[in-house]
Amino acid sequence: MNKEEKIQEFQKIIDQAKHIVFFTGAGVSTLSGIPDFRSQDGLYNQKYAYPPEEIISHHYFEENPEEFFRFYKDKMLHLDAKPNIVHTFIAECEKKGKSLGVVTQNIDGLHQAAGSKRVYEIHGSVERNYCEKCHKFFNAEYIKDAEGVPYCDACGGIVKPDVVLYEEGLSEAVLNGAIAAIQSSDVLVVLGTSLVVYPAAGLLRYFGGKYLVLINRDATPYDTAADLVINDTFENVFPKLHI
Ligand SMILES: [Zn+2]
């Protein structure tokens, strides 16, 4: 099949699907201008002394909150970003009753901004932040506007983003919701992830439906297991689809 035929095949799968689950990774956010915070550009080593995996770990947050929040605000908080054509398409599928929801590795809240209601954020969200002492809730703007480390205005505790750091466990409730959705789906569409970030590959194993579709710019280790693989940009694929 050439690329056009593959897109037509994807359209057919969507038309016939009853319960689609979408699984989204960093590539979906990139289209909204949010770079993958794990990637290190040329300037990175001048700005940061450690790799991202070290800075966004639990022990680093505890030991160097100033440096953690410098990285976090610079690389992980993108409050001006807007949902793109992929977020909109996914939200539309849910609205039309075709989708059981979206499982995402992204923490930017853009699926909800597009109108999705059932969103399983396995790595948490920058939109939720809690005081470590009294658990008071704060929005993302509060973190952004704080100078350096954000402190609770009620008790003075450090406000921690509800984002899963390295060395921290995933929320069992969110994982169980994601697994239940995947198990009940007849079509699983994986978008913008190379499936190497934990626990993406493990979650895929719960899928027992009809069609596994992978759309990613580059090949992934799971391409051979998929029923349809489109290695292309979302800008080339999604404008040609309808629900
Ligand atoms: Zn507090």
Residue 46: what pLDDT? 87
Cα torsion 238, 198, 200, 214: sign: positive
Using the mean position of ligand 1's atoms as its centre, give its distance from the Cα of residue 83 in Å: 32
What was the pLDDT predicted at 231? 94
Exposure of 226 by Cβ count < 10 A (0-12 exposed, 13-18 middle, 19+ buried)?
middle
Residue 12 to residue 62: CA distance in whole angstroms:
50
What is the per-residue pLDDT for 5?
97
Rg (CA), the chain: 19
Collect the ranges in the chain with pLDDT lower than 70.
none
Per-residue confidence (pLDDT) for residue 87, from 0 to 100: 98
- pLDDT the model gives residue 83: 98
Note residues around ion ligand 1 (Cβ under 5 angstroms): 131, 133-134, 136, 152, 154-155, 157
Compute, in angstroms, the gap from residue 160 CA to the centroid of ligand 1.
10
* pLDDT computed for residue 39 by the predictor: 84
pLDDT at 93: 97
For 133, which DSSP code?
T
What pLDDT, on the 0 to 100 scale, is given for residue 50? 95
For residue 47, report the distance from its CA to the centre of ligand 1, in Å: 31
137 C-alpha to center of ligand 1: Å? 9
Total-model pTM: 0.95
Would you please indicate which residues are annotated as catalytic (active-site) residues? 123
Tell which residue, 181, 174, 182, has the closest CA to residue 208. Answer: 182
Q: Give the per-residue pLDDT at 195.
A: 85
